[in-house]
Amino acid sequence: MTGRAWAGIVPFPRSDGHTYRPSGGQSSFHDDLARFRVLFGGRGSGKTTAGAHEALKYIRQGMSGAVLNPDFENFKASTWPEFRQWIPWSKVVPNDRRMAEHGWEPRAPFVIHFTNGVSVRCKGLKDPDAARGPNVSWLWYDEGGRDKTGMAWLLAIASVRIPGPNGEMPGAWVTTTPKGTRHWTAQWFVYQNISDAAQEVLDSIGYTGTLYGHHYASIHDNRANLDPLYYASLLSAYTGKFAQQELDGKLVDITEGVVYDCFGPDNVTTAAEYDPERGPVEIAYDDGFSVSPRVFLFIQRDGGTAYIFNEMYHLKHLAGTCIQEAKDLAAAGEWGPFEIAVGDPSASQLAAALRKADIVARGKSLKVKESIKVLYSLIETAEGTRRILVHPRCTNLIRELGQDYRYPEGSTSKSDVDPVKENDHGPDALRYWANMRMVRT
């Protein structure tokens, strides 16, 4: 259902007269034209305020939608108190204005009707099936980090399909404190991987925009709107990675044990796509067959940075088959011949097969702990520079580097123990390659 746009109305002030002035992270979130967006924000960052104003923008345009939360109790405690402060109650139909009365507390899902014909459903989604509902033009999912699986979000966005009265595009967004790189909000919005089928559809309609956008807001950006004692108390109480997540709104894996815990969203970028101006393509490999996959990573180097633009993870493929598939990929992408392949020197049969296919193959023995430190320092240098960049299509490498390759549970020191020999296939291939090709010896 669509309504009428309110012409010439600027953003609504808060009930106490306060005017919304978005910070950098909030502004980029509002300006993003992606169909699906997330605003990761720390405590006190104003993420819920930004979500409310994005909803009000659609309401002003005459577009009906939904304000959702993973559970209704949290909606009442978090989402509703903020949203209700910004609602222009003079533009709500008289029968619904009771919601503006002091002390009114929602006790069940409800709908707000505006005088321009817009309606807004408000509800919790403890049961993901509750996300099914009438078609709308927009959807705001507040505190999405509380949803462990993302199933409610997936079901809900299927209803976001009605354009605005003047052809405005539908949209859906999440506002949440980040919950680490494993959480669905990170996997969906940051480590995004559009399927070939979806890309074909986008290409067929000439779509050149983006489907997913992610933004960050921190408590520091919103300091001017916070009580100084509250701000100081959180600064003193939160430290380390927990502070990065809870105050800075950053995606960090605060679970102990991830080997390359420095690997994160800043290493994942479409800028790592193959570029013929960048130079020849190299292969980093790790051998496997029946239990562990054989891995090929396709890499270019330029200006001291490695660009990993594609991957192959294959089970039960003969070495010759994998090598031919790699050459076929190169031919299809016009990458040119491979300059070199680097991997574990114990994979002698694979190295021999590579040489037989006219691909130079090299490897040397490395000490695990020392070579991990080298790759770690390239993923994020001491100055904070990222010298290892990975394209989002390399989903297996991203998963292993960012979350699955770990030290033994309960390890107290990374310096005196080797990682568990699981989920190490891409990281090992990259470790051998980086120690030989990125470091002068």
Q: What's residue 1's pLDDT?
A: 63
What would the 3-class secondary structure string for 43-77 be?
CCCCHHHHHHHHHHHHHHCCECEEEEECCHHHHHH
Q: What's residue 415's pLDDT?
A: 54
Q: Are 147 and 153 in contact (CB under 8 A)?
A: yes
Q: Are 138 and 68 in contact (CB under 8 A)?
A: no
Q: Which residue segments constitute the domains of the chain, with CATH numbers given?
A: 24-246 (3.40.50.300), 265-437 (3.30.420.280)
Q: How far is CA 439 from the centre of its chain?
A: 30
Q: What's residue 441's pLDDT?
A: 47
HSE-up (13 A, CA, CB side) for residue 45: 29
First and final C-alpha spacing in the chain: 66
Q: What's residue 390's pLDDT?
A: 94
Q: What is the pLDDT along the chain (441 residues), one digit of tens a residue?
A: 677 888 766 677 888 888 898 988 999 999 999 999 999 999 899 999 999 999 999 999 999 999 999 999 999 989 999 999 999 999 999 888 877 766 678 888 999 999 999 999 999 998 888 888 889 999 999 999 989 889 999 999 999 999 998 889 999 999 999 988 878 999 889 887 666 777 787 778 787 777 899 999 999 998 988 888 888 877 876 767 778 888 888 888 665 688 998 887 788 888 999 999 998 999 999 999 988 999 999 999 998 999 999 999 999 999 999 999 999 999 999 998 999 999 999 999 999 999 999 999 999 999 999 999 999 999 999 888 999 999 988 989 988 998 789 888 766 555 578 899 999 999 999 999 999 999 864
Number of Cβ atoms within 10 Å of the Cβ of 104: 12
Tokens representing residue 120 in the block: 């807004």
